[in-house]
Amino acid sequence: MRLTTLAHAVVGSILLIASHTSHGQSAIKLPDLGTSALQVLPLEKEQAIGEVMMMQIRSQLPLVQDPVLDEYLTSLGNKLVANANDVRFGFSFFWIDNQAINAFAFYGGHVGVHTGLIAQADNESQLASVLGHEVAHVTQRHLARRMQQAKDNSALTLAGMIAGILTTIVAPDAGMAIISANSTQSQLNQLSHSRKAEQEADRFGMQTLYEAGFDPSQSSEFLTKLAAQVRYQTKPPAFLLTHPLPESRISDVRLRAQQFAPRYVPASLKFELAKSRVLARYHFESQHAQSFFENQLRLKATEMSKQALEYGLALSLLDQGKLEQSQALLDKLLEQDENNLFYLDAYTDLLIAQKQPEQATKLLQLKHEFRPNNQVITLNLANAAIEAKQLDKAEKLLKLFLLEKPEHALAKDLLTKVYKEQGDKAAYHEMHASLLAQYGAYIKAADEIQRALNHTNKQESVKEARLKALLSQYRQMQKELAKL
């Protein structure tokens, strides 16, 4: 599914929390109850802070709105979470369009993954090893512990700490400087705490990796690969700025992996297809991607399968408008696996590019009947229906989908487009407001609700009452946000 980036007006400030430092210092009083992270930061507070941080990330970073990649990452992440210890709430996984090798986790179980990470990973176990490590940071509550350590040493304000963490996510080197500037701790103590957290995340993450069926030895292989890059770069990968890598750590991880029984893990086609998709659409320009995949196919000695390389080549051709060449590859791939979501998604893009959206809706409708709740099929079908001017069909699909996933930004964006095409201004402004609220732009969301009210007939008393309640809610949420 190929859509333009969501281009809605959002919060203009760099860090909402940082801009409300005085509020944060006065509104949140951390109890002096020892060193337990659970005592210092209750789970509900952790989740609330995580949601605020997620709003800021949505408004500042180029999140990848790609149902196929989301489906793959969420499936992989949930497989690890299901085998982790001390899971206290649900996790959410998301992609960031950034070629840096990085991943991060923060309050409330949010895990962000740069597209550069999968582009550099050799296999699924390597990617899973990083995700397992990040899941462990959350389950072991390392950020909450760090907050407690800062409090014990009078080192950081809550607002300053969160601002530093957020900035670290956006720009790791700048973020570490903010944390240092806010701290009276010595550099040695900060490093010691960080290394201890990394050791614990390595230990719990590797256990999770093994329990989930992956190869623990690939964890040290990936760290070795990152360490090798440091030798040839003046600036280390972003991952190493937030995940210190002393020489002893690779040895520790390798020795820990040897404690597990050797395991052969077959190549994952889904991983390879996801990697090809990232390389084709987020890593290379389309022409360079075409050259890359054609060269790899000629070599015939690549780590990636022929299917994955042909899929990547088909995408690069499709994005250049070379539709016949792309179709020849996609027809062949679909013949091998007619229900593959990666292939169906690309074929939908192809049919729309060929001005045949009706054909796409017929193809996807059959798939939707067997997998009615799948986001890849549903959102592609809705998008094709919009292109085919089957607006009522698209509206029904998206409304049902949002009942199950009410915070899905791409589905909301598509439904906003439907209402605009239908000329339903009240519904358009209401849905636009809901989307803005996910970015923490409650003032703008309230403005959109006011516009929706202006397009509501006085006879629609129930709808008017609901919109007024939403208006009040968004204004109250803006006040609550300022108190964090």
Residues of the binding site = 133, 137, 198
Q: Which two tokens stand for residue 454?
A: 């202006």
For residues 358 and 463, what is the distance between their CA atoms, to the nearest angstrom?
34
For residues 311 and 308, what is the distance between their CA atoms, to the nearest angstrom?
5
Considering the candidates 70, 124, 202, 413, report the single residue annotated as catalytic: 202
Active site residue 202: yes
What DSSP letter does each residue of 372-412 carry, written as one string? Answer: TT-HHHHHHHHHHHHHTT-HHHHHHHHHHHHHH-TT-HHHH
Q: Which two tokens stand for residue 457?
A: 């007939």
Considering the candidates 134, 345, 349, 413, report the single residue annotated as catalytic: 134
Task: Extract the annotated binding site for Zn(2+).
Answer: 133, 137, 198
Measure the N-to-C terminal CA separation of the chain; round to a whole number of Å: 37
Helix or strand run (H / E) with residue 334? helix 323-336
- The DSSP output letter for 234 is S
Q: Tell me the residue type at 107.
A: Y
Nearest residue to 109 via CA among 146, 150, 81, 145: 81
**CA-CA distances (angstroms) from residue 119 to 73, 74, 401?**
14, 17, 31
Task: Give backbone dihedrals phi and psi of 96, rounded to 5 degrees, phi first.
Answer: -120, 130
- 339-366: b (≥16 Cβ within 10 Å) or e: ebbbbbbbbbbbbbbeebbebbbebbee
Is 288 within 8 Å of 295 (Cβ atoms)?
Answer: no
Q: Tell me the residue type at 226.
A: L
Q: Which two tokens stand for residue 397?
A: 């699909």
Give me the torsion for CA of 162, 166, 172, 177, rounded to 10°.
Answer: -40
The DSSP bridge partners found for residue 96 are 63, 114
Q: Which residues are catalytic?
A: 134, 202
